[in-house]
Structure 1
Amino acid sequence: MNDVEPGDLLTAAEAFARPFYAEAHRAYHSAEHVRAVLEALDSRGLLTPTLALAVWGHDFIYNPRASDNEERSAEVFGKWLREQGASSELMAEVRPLILATKHAAPPTTRAEALLVDADLSILGADERTFAAYDATIRREYAHVPGPLYSIGRRKVLRGFLERERIFTTPEFTELEGRAQVNLTAALKRL
């Protein structure tokens, strides 16, 4: 069987992923988030078919009670890519991109850095958009009691603020200042 090109998989990937992104428990990690990440890359002239596939796959599996969403997303989306006839090279490119969105370690390639920055671009949004994002994250974690949520959320927000830089690629550095302001304000509200 001939390997399918990344661009040829995009429409099928979106059709396959949309039902997952429409799950009722998703308030933020939805198709709207996927579209925002795609737009963040596309508006900067950075969107490639491989990055687009990784964007559709990066939050494919999302359970706010689990800590292995990216690993499971990479596994399930990778299996789907294989079933579609994607090359082993493409699957080897997409998997680490998806895993990079766990935000557990600095990106190791330019493509990973671009995807991570696009995924985090909401942090540098205007105040109103950031507040709406923050509220949707709380809805996704509605099962966590208020005091425990505040402790966990503070840890996440501080983790971003304690980085040398939130955005590591030149194309996203203009969001740094706004992200610092948004994260600091969100911490104060907790």
Structure 2
Amino acid sequence: MADLDALRSRWVRTLLASREDACFPDPYRYADALLRLWSEPQRRYHTVEHLTAVLDHVDTLREYAADPDVVRLAAWFHDAVYLPERSTNEERSARLAERALPEAGVDPERTAEVARLVRLTVTHDPADGDRDGEVLCDADLAILAAPPAAYAAYTAAVRQEYHFVPDAGFRSGRAAVLRQLLGLPRLFRTPYGRREWEAAARANLSAELAELTRPAGPAQPENTSPGAPPAP
């Protein structure tokens, strides 16, 4: 269970380090609003536990970032809007950041960078030299390198989020996501990610893809419309 008070404190430290001065609204109101979003009932994987994990990974990778606090802000917003049946979550989350951060006292340049980073999580494919993008994407994808039991829990939670998608459609959509990830030259861009996470993540993805594409026995036809592709 995530420690919500600790998360609120982490938000306040990051916001105060990122904004121009103290003459702005109470930072805790933004923490509470974001945590309400992250605690919505439709979430099974994209929860406050996921937020905590991504923030922890950003801290691990902070030496590689150009501006670690901007990356932390992007982590808070990257799945703030999350409806599994929609394909516009990243865009809506970025727009939320563009509205909330200036009101909270963050300057336009940093706000724009946060929004850019949130939109980058659509592809998890930052350009070479995009240090902040590399850190956020590595932190978000670190679950892919989890030990087998934790990886199985992650995939089960993703399936629960997409409970409304028939099994054949889910398997097809999820397999497409896995192929896209495996097709990247590198899943992880930071030196730490390449060293510590790359091999394990590829093994997990390959094993899951093999299971998803294993021929099934005869079954009754079903609606295979996948809806929004099951996300990482």
Query: 1:59 is matched with which residue: 79, 84, 92?
Result: 79
Residue 108 (structure 2) aligns with: 88
The answer on 1:175 being equivalent to 2:197 is yes
Q: Deviations over 1:105-131 (max 9, x none)?
A: x21311011100110000011111111
| Aligned counterparts of 1:45 and 1:97: Cα–Cα separation in 2 | 15
> Counterpart in 2 of 1:147?
168
Aligned residues: 186
- Alignment partner, residue 35 of structure 2: 18
Contact 1:27 1:137 in 2 (8 A): yes
Aligned-residue CA RMSD (Å): 1.9
Q: TM-score, normalised by structure 1?
A: 0.91
Query: Aligned match of 1:103 in 123, 142, 165?
Result: 123
Question: Could you tell me which residue of structure 2 aligns to residue 78 of structure 1?
Answer: 98
Matched with 2:209 is: 187
- 8 Å CA contact 1:10–1:49 kept in 2: the answer is no
Larger radius of gyration: 2
SS in 1 for 2:82: coil
Find the counterpart in structure 1 of residue 153 from structure 2: 132
Give the TM-score, by structure 2 length: 0.75
Which residue of 2 is the match for residue 50 of structure 1?
A: 70
Higher deviation after alignment, 84-93 or 129-138: 84-93
Mapped partners of 2:99, 2:58: distance in 1: 25
Distance 1:12 1:38, change over 3 A: farther
Contact 1:50–1:93 (Cα < 8 Å) also in 2 = yes
Aligned to 2:46: 29
Query: Contact between 1:61 and 1:69, CA under 8 Å: does it hold in 2?
Result: yes
Contact 1:58/1:101 (8 A) holds in 2:
yes
Q: Distance in 2 between matches of 1:142 and 1:114?
A: 31
- The verdict on how the C-alpha distance between 1:131 and 1:10 changes in structure 2, with shifts beyond 3 A counting, is farther
For residues 169 and 10 of structure 1, the distance between their equivalents in structure 2, rounded to whole angstroms, comes to 31
Which has the larger share of helix? Answer: 1
Q: 1:43 to 1:153 in 2, by over 3 A?
A: same
What do residues 84-108 of structure 1 show as CA deviations (whole Å, max 9, x unaligned)? 122111111111111111126x213
The runs of 5 or more residues in structure 1 that have no matched partner are none
What letter matches 1:17 in structure 2? Answer: L
CA shift in 2, pair 1:12/1:116, >3 Å: farther
